[in-house]
């Protein structure tokens, strides 16, 4: 069972990483407009040739 010594910290660390990522995304306003974000992804901006 000594493998638990590694596995539990790894599990907790990965979970914590997810938590941190969520808190960061919440703070940076990524949940403010879910519907708009799904459309913006498809917006290519203007179609003029590069200078």
Partner 1 sequence: MSCCAPGVEGSLDLERSGQGMPSAEELKLSARPLGEGLFQTDLSVPGVYCGACITTVEGALKKLPMVARARVNLSSKRVSVVWKDAVEGQQSDPTDIVRQIASTGYESHLFSMAGENGDEVRNQLLRAVAVAGFASANIMLLSVSVWSGAEAATRDMFHWISAGIAAPALIYAGRFFFLSAWKALRHGQTNMDVPISIGVFLSYFVSLWETLHHAEHAWFDATVMLLFFLLIGRTLDHMMRDRARSAITGLARLSPRGATVIASDGSRDYRPIEEIRPGDRLSVAAGDRIAVDGKVLFGVSDMDASVVNGESTPVSIKPGDLVQAGMLNLTGSLTVEATAAARDSFLAEMIGLMEAAEGGRARYRRIADRASQYYAPAVHLLAFLSFIGWGFIGGDWKHAMLIAVAVLIITCPCALGLAVPVVQVVAAGRLFQNGIMVKDGSAMERLAEIDSVYFDKTGTLTLGRPRLINRGEAGEAALTLAAGLAGHSRHPLSQALYRTVEGPVAAFDSVSEVPGAGVEARTETGLYRLGSRLFACGEAHDNASSRDQASSEVVLSLDGKELATFRFEDSLRPGAEQVVAGLQEHGIATGILSGDRAPVVQALAGKLGIADWNASLSPRDKAARLSEARERGRKTLMVGDGINDAPALSSAHVSMAPATAADVGRQAADFVFLREGLDAVPLALDVSRKAGQLIRQNFALAIGYNIIAVPIAILGYATPLIAALAMSSSSIIVVVNALRLNRIARVAQPEPQALKPSAPIGQGARLAS
* Alpha helical stretches, state H, 1-51: 4-27, 34-40
Bin 29: left if φ > 0, else alpha if -120 < ψ < 50, else beta: left
Binding-site string for partner 1 from residue 11 to residue 50, where x marks contact by CB under 8 A and - marks none: xx--xx-xx--xx--xx----xxxxx--xx-xx-------
Select 41 or 50, whichever has its Cβ closest to partner 1: 41
3-state secondary structure of 32: coil
The binding site for partner 1 (CB under 8 A) comprises 1, 4, 8, 11-12, 15-16, 18-19, 22-23, 26-27, 32-36, 39-40, 42-43
């Amino acid at each position: 069972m000594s493998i638990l010594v590694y596995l539990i910290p790894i599990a907790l660390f990965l979970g914590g990483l997810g938590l941190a990522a969520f808190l960061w995304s919440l703070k940076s306003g990524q949940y403010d407009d879910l519907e708009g974000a799904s459309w913006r992804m498809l917006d290519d901006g203007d179609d003029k040739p590069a200078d």
